[in-house]
Amino acid sequence: GRQFSVVGGQNVTFRNNYGRNNVKGFACLYIASEPAGIWNTLGAQNVLAEYNTFENCGSVTTGHGAIFIWGPGEANESNNVINIKNNKVILNGQPGLVVLGPKSNQISFTGNLVQGQSSNS
């Protein structure tokens, strides 16, 4: 699984956490909505992740970054507010920050440090 996740939740803060060595190659931090036919969740809303350290998470094989924001592009994702700030991501060739599919234009990345990510991140 993932060390930290919010799927369809709202008003969630991840602060001062440490996630390390996800051996399956999944994200340390997973923020998502999941589509109809799987779990049919709402979009994650009002999520803040700050001052966390994520080390050796994600994988080119799984497509997950250490921080992975995902959504199938359905209507239930609109009005997401996701702030990713002042996190430290230490990698050994994995993807760092990956965003796939969400309709939201309210995702911000501020002051994050990403070291050692793969060239296709």
Q: Residues 67-76: what's their mean pLDDT?
A: 77
> Taking 80 as the threshold, does the pLDDT of residue 8 lie above it?
yes
User: Is the pTM of the predicted complex or chain greater than 0.85?
Assistant: yes
Question: Rounded to the nearest 10 degrees, how much is the dihedral formed by the CA atoms of 14, 33, 78, 98?
Answer: 70
Give per-residue pLDDT as tens, 26-67. Answer: 999 999 888 777 788 888 889 999 999 999 999 999 999 999
How far the first Cα of the chain sits from its last, in Å, is 21
Confidence at residue 121, expressed as pLDDT on a 0 to 100 scale:
47
Contact 44, 6 (CB under 8 A): yes
The predicted model gives 64-76 an average pLDDT of 81
